[in-house]
Structure 1
Amino acid sequence: MFEKFTEGAIKVIMLSQEEARRMGHNFVGTEQLLLGVIGQRHGIGAKALKKLKVTLKKARKEIELYIGRGTGFVASEIPFTPRAKRVLEMAVHEGKDLGQNFVGTEHILLALIAESDGVAMRTLDKLGVDVHKLRNLIFSYIEETQEEILRPLTQAEKFLLERERKGSQTPTLDEFAENISKEAIDGNLDPVIGRQKEIDDVIAVLARRTKNNPVLIGEPGVGKTAVAEGLAQLILTEKVPDFLDGSLIMALDLGSILAGTKYRGEFEERLKRIVEEAQNDSAIIIVIDEIHTLVGAGAAEGAVDAANILKPALARGKFRCIGATTNDEYRKYIERDPALERRFQPVNVPEPSVGTTIEILRGLRSKFERHHTLSYHDDAIEQAAILSSKYIADRFLPDKAIDVLDESGARVRLENRRLPIGLRSLMHELQNAIRDKEDAVKRHDFGSAKQFLDHEMEVRTHMRIMKQSSLTEEMRGISRRDLDMVLENDVANVVSNWTGIPVTKISGSESERLLKMEEILHERIIGQEDAVIAVSKAIRRARVGLRNPNRPIASFIFAGPTGVGKTELTKALSDYMFGSEESMIRLDMSEYMEKHTVAKLIGSPPGYVGYNEGGQLTEAVRSQPYSVVLLDEVEKAHPDVFNLLLQILDDGRLTDSKGRLIDFTNTLIVMTTNLGSKVIERESGIKPKSQQEGSGLKLTTNEGIFGWEPAPEVAQDSKIREKVKKLVNDELKNFFRPEFLNRIDEIIVFSHLTRRDLWEICDLMIKSLIARLKDKEINLIVRKPVQALLTDEGYDPLYGARPLRRAIMHYLEDELAEKCLSQTLYPRTRIIVDRKTLADKKNEIKEMNPESSVELYKRNISANNDSINVQSISDITSITNSSINLTNLNTMSDTMSRNNVGGGMELSIENLTYQSDLNDYRDSETYTNELKIEIDFSAVDQKLLNVEVEEKQVEDNNAKTILIAGVPIVVEKLRGLIEASNKEEDESDDITEEDNITEPLASEEEAKEEEPETDTPKTEESKPKRNRFALIKKIGAAIFGTLNRFR
């Protein structure tokens, strides 16, 4: 029965079984057949129902309300109900009654209408369908398509059959050209959508009497070759003028003609034969892709090239040729030869819109699904066009969208290769079943097609069961999606892989991140509330889609003092928007102060040095189109630079020296300037650190006294801020031209940093240092008093946060570097950094000298004075020999009041410095400006420490010294002397007075040095020396004996 079913009718049966499975039914009734007819959208039955406002959604709803959903397990093979089988048999009879020897969707629908007691007919009644009107619509559609279904062979098909029967009259052309018309007849060409205008223009040029040679000009990937293929497919439908009926499109391969030409003149001979064969057969149209390659092709010394060979034939009108090339190549090669240019008529092929690209992708969907054995979701088709248009700027539609769609299918297919073996084998079996079914349909073997269809449904059922089963652990790691479906996320991943933009920045919902943008930026930017809020609002406007798509995302001028966070906010923006600071393009505008340096931005003009290198700005944006462009210290640039920026800020594009259009619509442009810093300083009352009052107060928190506190600061009034902003804007207007400032989205004025801001910035910098040491598996702990010292030393309102960085480098990083080099730091070592107190200084002095600290101070500080008149901090500093700030002074004032001592009164050293009643109060809580660093090895692996202890013992044994009469002597050196004396006692001279065994730097070679031999007999005067030498030997032996006993 199914032998006469068309491909559309077989799909109706497939869809009906899927509908039954979806509803949980173990049978296929007339209602499922109705849903299958509606689901086959391209069939006549679906078109007729759509005309009467019957949709798949409405029909499903009515059927589920009428018969409900099943609850049992659905078998792999779902049988037809007797009524459904009767309907299919009636459909065969409907086709016979209409004089057709096949069964289509329209016949199945007519049979469903005839079965008045079926659920399908009741559903149509519920939906308000007029049966008589539906039947008339079906008949009208059948009449319209009758001629197309039973059409005779086209002229092109007849011509090809005739050529095959009689033999080709163009052997050379057949050898070096591809028959595009034959490919169209075989169905191997992709459908051409949205190029009707270009095809009509080509037909109009071909209709000319002379110089009937169109040349398709457009950017790479817009579909120039597809226009020629579309013409070949249009000729098959015979919807072309009479002069094109039966025409054949042949694509000439110039490379094949050149290949194998060993002797001079062989290439010219081949080309001449091709021209003669094409002129003798008026039905042939030659297509030459990349036609600019004709210029110079095959030209040897003294010979003509291919272009000059074709010129006479192109001008006479008997050799019809369609060329294709890009805009640049046409200008470079074709326009330079006016004689060649006048023989071609340009036909521009523009880039299609996103909507047209979506239609093109939908037309190509079946081709990709057949190749990858996958299905493409509608959202994936749309996103491939939208995302490629938005994020892939250096290529053109539809080529880049087609490539995205193709690669997404390839990646999903490769991902399925990593599935469990059982599921992978089912995927392979499914692929074979689909291929066999399509082959059977092409052979009109519908019986075999039905068998392959049943097998395909069975395989899909097994795959669905396997995916839903929890028996295998491997399946739990598979992403939650259909294994044979390409989804929107798959397309987004491909675009992300090409452009480097994180996937969440493309397909994820960004509303929550945008609403929390201020919080995210404030993790890095301390203070500057107005600046962060202004930037966040601008970014939200842009991301919602309210911005002009032909302008940059946003453009700002950051004005304010140095070191307040202008560049840091730009880096934070880059990290927020594009996921990395590397997406920031930074240009120091002080390098563009001269007039001639403006060319460095867009590239040198032709004839100048560096022309081929491109511009620094244009090349950076061209290679990284999604970035934050930072123009640092823009006021230092030459005024001509601002003229260059005008079209960037207004139109979002810039043409470089090579004529290429650079897209700036996906960039965020930030310009920083120090203009207005004097105004901010004056109006905000900022003073240098040396003139600040109230610094160095105690900061009491839950963790104790830090020794520093931000001075009380009055928040700026909103009126003052508005006044400052207005004055800064006035200063910018005096410097920049109005047309430049008018193109800026917003001018953001940065305020100076407060002490509290600097405290938080210091915390961020310390955390950064901790993170760097964490990479080396070293744990750094910095106490709060250290942060207080660094903040106090690094605070200068005129210079912002940069002095703080220098203070951290001087106080903390330098000390840590010395500590890391002085001893071995193993993984999990803890380094604890704290500030020294006066008590720590006192202990250090005691350890350095046994004298009492009071006597030491008396001798070093007050040599002739027993008391000092205390009037200022400097007086106390001179007494204590340490840096004293207001914290120490305040603490001292409490102490002096307890001892009846006040400012301007005489204060003795004993009463001030180390008096017992001050030790517990002042010394332990008053901090100095020095740091103490402790190394904690408690968390280190003990095996590593034991190895170090053994090595240390070996080193200590080799370097032991002993004291003889208070003089240190190296043990090993003394051992060497004694051993040398044993060997040389009888022949060496006595040790002279100049020999000094206590000299620690003397070497063993010096100690072992042999004295010159002499025949002079020893006198009595030498005996005391020999006795002295023997005494040294005895002392050494006694020493080593003692050492051995202690060992």
Structure 2
Amino acid sequence: VAGSRYRGEFEERIQTVLNEIISHQEELVIFVDELHTIIGAGGAGGEGGLDVSNVIKPALARGELHLIGATTLNEYQKYIEKDAALERRFQPIIVAEPTVEQSVEILRGLRDKYEAHHKVKISDEAIVAAVELSDRYVSNRFLPDKAIDLVDQASSRVRIGLSSHSDEMRSLQAQIDHLIRERDYARSHKEYDRAKVLEKRINEVSERKDQSTQEWRKQKGITSAEVQMKHIAQVLSKLTGIPVTELTEAEKKRLMRLEERLHRRVVGQEEAITAVSDAVRRARSGLAERNRPVATFLFLGPTGVGKTELAKTLAEAVFGDESAIVRIDMSEYMEKHAVARMIGSPPGYVGYEEGGQLTEAIRRRPYSVILLDEIEKAHPEVYNLLLQVLDDGRLTDGRGRPVDFTNTVIIATSNIGSDYHQQEKIGFVNSREQRENEQLRERLLEEVRNHFRPEFLNRIDELIVFHLLTPEQVEQIVRLQLDRVCQTAGSQKITIAFDRSVVKYLAEVGYSPEYGARELKRRIQTEIENRLAREMLRGDIKEGEKVKVGYSIKSGIRFQTGQKVKKREKVSV
């Protein structure tokens, strides 16, 4: 029979090893890692040959073998439980993940090995930080493995930082080597005066090199061969993208002036900006709850007043990148079956291996803003799915893997009740009408309570109502948009100055309470950008020219070209 020789040979070798073990059974305890791999090993493709598990069963039954096997719960269930004869020959022992305190003791026991390997000293605060930070921020692995990894990588980072050199240091070392060769040559030819001068220069350059080395290490944050808490935090920040490093003075000032940074792009909406800023400061100071997202908001109000823009601005101001935003258009989840796309299809369905749109995005970038745009358009099943995210900061995807949402800011936007704004306020909001905002807010919140379930609203940190824009705020938005036009034209080496009459005209004709500030953008494209593009293509406006844009009732918006400018001027709109 084909393959019989192979099967017989495999059995013979396993039996020889087994006999050797049995003959010394009082002296040996056999440990088999990944125990599930013995099932089917050497079975010759299932053609009747004995695999390792069948060979060792008789010895296990007779008690001739002291065997400890290690495997995971999933693999034990998948492989070993199916073989009842093998399962009953083992006593299962569940090894739980060690606690934070136990993990600290494990790392203290391993400290000597890592110190000897990396030739650095590992401080006790670094060990405690590695365990506590990995327990909090690394969710898809277990202690003590993830803490050991942090200590290992931080030790390597310190060691490399000590041995690395800047370009200036390498240049100074090359000078020292050259001077040493010159000095040795002078000594060999009995030019002692020259050798003395060279010796003095060597000492001077060496001092400069030592000073440069200290500055370089200080800049890199590595001044000694000791792994500290800050090094663990730096490694974790690199791995996860979550800023867990200590707050620097510059960052403290930036967080205190967060409202000012948000107001650069979002006009008005003081209540919304203050609430968002307070939540971010609370989280960055370490005072936020550990098992919930940083903050969850429901933005309410008419279209085009800055709800989505505030979410984008927050991502840029806090996370340093406007792309640190996961935008989910909830109108794509209007059908019940579409809900599975958020967390991934269940086993047996198309797309099971691909993962969910929301869960995969957060797995790759756990520190980001989640924007659930126009949430009222989603199917009610979506709200049930979001309950555990809002409450526990976690969600299990279609493949059974938990995804951590505790470092995200969740913002849901809704246009519910926006028709109240149109009924109550035709045109702009003026100062006399501001007192009606509170009454309008109550009616809006009542509408929201009628649409969303209480258990969903109860998990939202704050319901924030965005108000209609005042005439002054609309003019401010026009200035922001025209400043953007100036910047894009500046890239073509064309300098534009807008007259105040243009700002007033665009604010009057471009804003509509029904469509919000988006109508302004369209009007600027039509009235300014389209005409500017035509003038440039015709050659009426050339590279390096200065253009003044004005407005009059008789002639409308007009372009006037002035003298040529050699470089781009900063133009205040």
| CA deviation map 1:976-1018 (0-9, x unaligned) | xxxxxxxxxxxxxxxxxxxxxxxxxxxxxxxxxxxxxxxxxxx
State the alpha-carbon separation in 2 of the partners of residues 814 and 284 from structure 1: 85
Q: How does 1:143-182 map to 2 (within 5 A)?
A: none
Residue 670 of structure 1 deviates from its aligned partner by: 1.2
Match of 2:17 among 274, 285, 306: 274
Give the conservation status (yes or no) of the 8 Å contact 2:308–2:413: yes
Give the conservation status (yes or no) of the 8 Å contact 2:241–2:365: no
Does the residue aligned with 1:409 lie in a helix, a strand or coil? helix
Match of 1:326 among 61, 72, 85: 72
Residue 596 of structure 1 deviates from its aligned partner by: 1.2
CA 601–789 in structure 1, closer or farther in 2 if over 3 Å, else same:
same
Tell me which residue corresponds to 2:356.
615
Q: How does 1:504-653 map to 2 (within 5 A)?
A: 507-508=247-248, 511-653=252-394
Match of 2:467 among 729, 751, 755: 751
Tell me which residue corresponds to 1:381.
127
| CA deviation map 1:176-205 (0-9, x unaligned) | xxxxxxxxxxxxxxxxxxxxxxxxxxxxxx
Residue 662 of structure 1 deviates from its aligned partner by: 1.7
State the alpha-carbon separation in 2 of the partners of residues 641 and 482 from structure 1: 52
State the alpha-carbon separation in 2 of the partners of residues 788 and 467 from structure 1: 65
Match of 1:835 among 543, 550, 555: 550
Residue 630 of structure 1 deviates from its aligned partner by: 1.3
Give the conservation status (yes or no) of the 8 Å contact 1:585–1:627: yes
CA 362–933 in structure 1, closer or farther in 2 if over 3 Å, else same:
farther
Residue 674 of structure 1 deviates from its aligned partner by: 0.5
Q: Which amino acid aligns with 2:394?
A: R
| CA deviation map 1:315-374 (0-9, x unaligned) | 333222222223333333233333333333332233333343333333333322222222
Q: Which amino acid aligns with 1:930?
A: I
CA 543–474 in structure 1, closer or farther in 2 if over 3 Å, else same:
closer
Q: Which amino acid aligns with 1:289?
A: D
Matched, 1:714 2:431: yes
Give the conservation status (yes or no) of the 8 Å contact 1:796–1:803: yes
Tell me which residue corresponds to 2:113.
367
Tell me which residue corresponds to 2:183.
none
CA 423–614 in structure 1, closer or farther in 2 if over 3 Å, else same:
same
Does the residue aligned with 1:339 lie in a helix, a strand or coil? helix
CA 501–550 in structure 1, closer or farther in 2 if over 3 Å, else same:
closer
State the alpha-carbon separation in 2 of the partners of residues 293 and 657 from structure 1: 27
Structure showing greater relative contact order (alpha-carbon pairs closer than 8 Å, 6 or more residues apart)? 2
Tell me which residue corresponds to 1:71.
none
Residue 485 of structure 1 deviates from its aligned partner by: 2.8
CA 493–338 in structure 1, closer or farther in 2 if over 3 Å, else same:
same
Tell me which residue corresponds to 2:83.
337
CA 769–300 in structure 1, closer or farther in 2 if over 3 Å, else same:
farther
State the alpha-carbon separation in 2 of the partners of residues 611 and 529 from structure 1: 44
State the alpha-carbon separation in 2 of the partners of residues 315 and 769 from structure 1: 83
Q: Which amino acid aligns with 2:266?
A: I
Does the residue aligned with 1:345 lie in a helix, a strand or coil? coil
Matched, 1:346 2:92: yes
Give the conservation status (yes or no) of the 8 Å contact 1:755–1:795: no
CA 730–287 in structure 1, closer or farther in 2 if over 3 Å, else same:
same
Match of 1:290 among 12, 22, 34: 34
Q: How does 1:826-975 map to 2 (within 5 A)?
A: 829-835=544-550, 837=552, 883-884=553-554, 928-934=555-561, 937-939=564-566
Tell me which residue corresponds to 1:664.
405
Tell me which residue corresponds to 2:212.
474
Q: Which amino acid aligns with 1:642?
A: Y
Matched, 1:408 2:151: no
* Runs of 4+, deviation exceeding 6 Å: 421-425, 465-468, 824-827
Does the residue aligned with 1:641 lie in a helix, a strand or coil? helix
CA 795–333 in structure 1, closer or farther in 2 if over 3 Å, else same:
same
Does the residue aligned with 2:431 lie in a helix, a strand or coil? coil
Tell me which residue corresponds to 1:800.
516
Structure exhibiting the larger radius of gyration computed from Cα positions: 1
Residue 763 of structure 1 deviates from its aligned partner by: 2.1
State the alpha-carbon separation in 2 of the partners of residues 391 and 933 from structure 1: 58
| CA deviation map 1:748-779 (0-9, x unaligned) | 11101122112222222233333444556655
CA 549–472 in structure 1, closer or farther in 2 if over 3 Å, else same:
closer
Residue 525 of structure 1 deviates from its aligned partner by: 1.4
Residue 482 of structure 1 deviates from its aligned partner by: 1.9
Residue 631 of structure 1 deviates from its aligned partner by: 1.1
State the alpha-carbon separation in 2 of the partners of residues 309 and 769 from structure 1: 79
Match of 1:312 among 51, 58, 67: 58
Q: Which amino acid aligns with 1:745?
A: D
Q: Which moved more, 1:634-643 or 1:339-348?
A: 339-348
Q: Which amino acid aligns with 2:21?
A: A
Give the conservation status (yes or no) of the 8 Å contact 1:417–1:424: no
CA 783–608 in structure 1, closer or farther in 2 if over 3 Å, else same:
same
State the alpha-carbon separation in 2 of the partners of residues 715 and 541 from structure 1: 35
Residue 528 of structure 1 deviates from its aligned partner by: 0.3
Aligned identity (percent) is 47
Residue 650 of structure 1 deviates from its aligned partner by: 1.5
Q: How does 1:86-235 map to 2 (within 5 A)?
A: none
Q: Which amino acid aligns with 1:594?
A: E
CA 333–772 in structure 1, closer or farther in 2 if over 3 Å, else same:
farther
TM-score, with length taken from structure 2: 0.83
Does the residue aligned with 2:217 lie in a helix, a strand or coil? coil
State the alpha-carbon separation in 1 of the partners of residues 467 and 5 from structure 2: 78
Tell me which residue corresponds to 2:182.
none
CA 421–799 in structure 1, closer or farther in 2 if over 3 Å, else same:
closer
Give the conservation status (yes or no) of the 8 Å contact 1:601–1:615: yes
State the alpha-carbon separation in 2 of the partners of residues 938 and 544 from structure 1: 49
CA 478–617 in structure 1, closer or farther in 2 if over 3 Å, else same:
same
CA 491–766 in structure 1, closer or farther in 2 if over 3 Å, else same:
farther
Tell me which residue corresponds to 2:422.
681
State the alpha-carbon separation in 1 of the partners of residues 518 and 298 from structure 2: 21
State the alpha-carbon separation in 1 of the partners of residues 455 and 101 from structure 2: 36
Residue 263 of structure 1 deviates from its aligned partner by: 3.8
Tell me which residue corresponds to 2:505.
789
Residue 288 of structure 1 deviates from its aligned partner by: 1.3
Residue 620 of structure 1 deviates from its aligned partner by: 1.8
Residue 830 of structure 1 deviates from its aligned partner by: 4.5
State the alpha-carbon separation in 1 of the partners of residues 564 and 171 from structure 2: 54
Give the conservation status (yes or no) of the 8 Å contact 1:826–1:940: no
CA 805–368 in structure 1, closer or farther in 2 if over 3 Å, else same:
same
Residue 791 of structure 1 deviates from its aligned partner by: 2.7
Matched, 1:418 2:134: no
CA 673–264 in structure 1, closer or farther in 2 if over 3 Å, else same:
same
Tell me which residue corresponds to 2:177.
none
Give the conservation status (yes or no) of the 8 Å contact 1:393–1:625: no
CA 393–774 in structure 1, closer or farther in 2 if over 3 Å, else same:
farther
Give the conservation status (yes or no) of the 8 Å contact 2:344–2:352: yes
Tell me which residue corresponds to 2:198.
none
Question: 5+ unaligned residues in a row in structure 1: which ranges?
Answer: 1-260, 426-464, 693-711, 838-882, 885-927, 942-1047
Residue 544 of structure 1 deviates from its aligned partner by: 4.0
CA 298–794 in structure 1, closer or farther in 2 if over 3 Å, else same:
farther
Does the residue aligned with 1:835 lie in a helix, a strand or coil? strand
Q: Which amino acid aligns with 1:832?
A: V
Does the residue aligned with 2:309 lie in a helix, a strand or coil? helix
